Structure 1
């Protein structure tokens, strides 16, 4: 055997030995992260306080400010290198007294149904609005019907989420346009109000709110917009088939105020080798006001905080500077995410990686990535490290709304992907409460996030 062949073989054996050593060391770190999260985690107790002692945290509200103060206090108690508040102006919208609605078949013969105002909606006239109602399945249906059939009526958008799609987020994306743009489009044809089927795959009596937009409509042309529960939507649709002349009454007292000052809450562990390379992990601190926002996005907040706590707990010193960012105003403006990216750019900060958790506190399945092919190949090489924890989903496409503004060449953006089958049962609804979150699932998600952050910190981006 030639000396050259022997040299090549020895080199390959050396590389293989080094690779096995690396994998073993990484496996030990991941096990420590999972063990610590499951045996000595803090995410669930944090969520308990955030949800039950503070509650719903609508952007611009007193509760949102309480959450900012809580987040700053808890991060400081971790003893990390730096904690600060980043000011951001946010919209302020209030729901007012509980909405009321009924279906009227004949004068005096009514059936109450559950509704809620969509975020950003104008109120109804004092005493409410009662008008004939017309059912449509899409925005395109408005064009087909035209002004003659729509003017003076309430438009009822009744396109359900597509139940045969395994990805519930794809199902959500396939029908959310009616919630977001329905009022703006219906107003162009003379509608006096809009009712939207809740974005929910389950049949229940919880209406689901969410952001909507009037586009460039003048204030005088804006019409009230509400969501109706899925049971209510099915009932209304059935009654319309029997009697197209029924009327719908809704009364809402919501109001939009001037923008107010709020804050992103940021905590940092400064890198030991590359302090000017930043890795961000976060979720959004604000929530809708109907429940307490435990899944959306209290879970993401406490999981992100737990990443830094786990590193401190196991004695891991990151090479790069790792930040937890509790973003404000994702739900109705994305002001926090945009402000963070704007300031990072103005300061010339080099963000190389960002991870977001904003899909609920359910069992983690893996991650989605917005990155180049080389970095995705690196991620795929780590799959064996995650297999003992039943993490198997690694896919290109999408990350998170708040970290999206950071996108640039060379950065890796990632989103935690829990099992999504139950997420939209709670999303933006009154039943998004602490009791809907499973402690073990939440803690598994936190450890999974910490593991990915560790691997990118240890090996860097390609």
Structure 2
């Protein structure tokens, strides 16, 4: 069943905390449910392509420009939604998820449909940002981050001017928001301490439980 379109929030001079308080978890979960209802989305199968179109269509509802261009296997593509910055459009904040599920027999609820739902709801809320926001659903993450690798190779100018890459991989499980401070494989990747501090301060202000952790394997942040 298609998710009903929620009204777009368009406000000037809104603080990040005010924006966060407008986040509607029901909207995010409804979209994640629509993604899971497609079934497994693995290795560029028809389900992954269908989920990519679903995400692109939903972002377009909220006014984002979303080019549709297949790549690599010609079975899927990266969904790239853009909110143009008002004062620093050549500086970027990337908010990432991945479209594929981890195995041909699972629907990937928290890996990574819930992240896609969060992205769509953020697209509804965000407007008039100083820097350009890229909301990206990467394809074929489970095969060593092929979608993000393709993006980095094709858009080096964005990577050079990217002030933050925030990967929402595997959100929505457990009692805590759990930012990952570092990973070790395939090579070490460390989070920006300033970004971790900002997330911690925001969580405290929103009274959201938080626990900073580490994990073994990286995700789409790796190629950045």
TM-score > 0.5 by shorter chain: yes
CA distance in 1, matches of 2:218, 2:134: 16
Task: State which of 36, 46, 55 in structure 2 corresponds to 1:51.
Answer: 36
Shift of 1:84: 1.3
Structure having the larger proportion of residues in helix: 1
CA contact (8 A) 2:97 2:137 kept: yes
CA distance in 1, matches of 2:195, 2:54: 37
Give the length in aligned residue pairs: 203
CA distance in 1, matches of 2:23, 2:43: 33
Shift of 1:391: 3.4
Ranges in structure 2 where 5+ consecutive residues have no aligned partner: 1-12, 183-188
Query: 1:343 aligned to 2:154?
Result: yes
Shift of 1:83: 1.0
CA contact (8 A) 1:268 1:322 kept: yes
CA distance in 2, matches of 1:70, 1:378: 30
Please tell me the root mean square deviation across aligned C-alpha atoms, in Å. 2.9
CA distance in 2, matches of 1:402, 1:300: 13
Shift of 1:29: 4.0
Number of the residue aligned with 2:46: 62
C-alpha distance 399-267 of structure 1, shift in aligned 2 (>3 A): farther
Shift of 1:300: 1.6
Number of the residue aligned with 1:401: 219
CA distance in 1, matches of 2:72, 2:75: 4
Ranges in structure 1 where 5+ consecutive residues have no aligned partner: 1-24, 91-259, 407-462
CA distance in 2, matches of 1:378, 1:57: 31
Larger radius of gyration: 1
Structure having the larger proportion of residues in strand: 1
CA contact (8 A) 1:355 1:399 kept: no
CA distance in 1, matches of 2:96, 2:219: 11
C-alpha distance 348-35 of structure 1, shift in aligned 2 (>3 A): closer
Task: State which of 345, 362, 368 in structure 1 corresponds to 2:180.
Answer: 368
- TM-score, normalised via structure 2 length: 0.77
CA contact (8 A) 1:277 1:349 kept: no
- TM-score, normalised via structure 1 length: 0.40
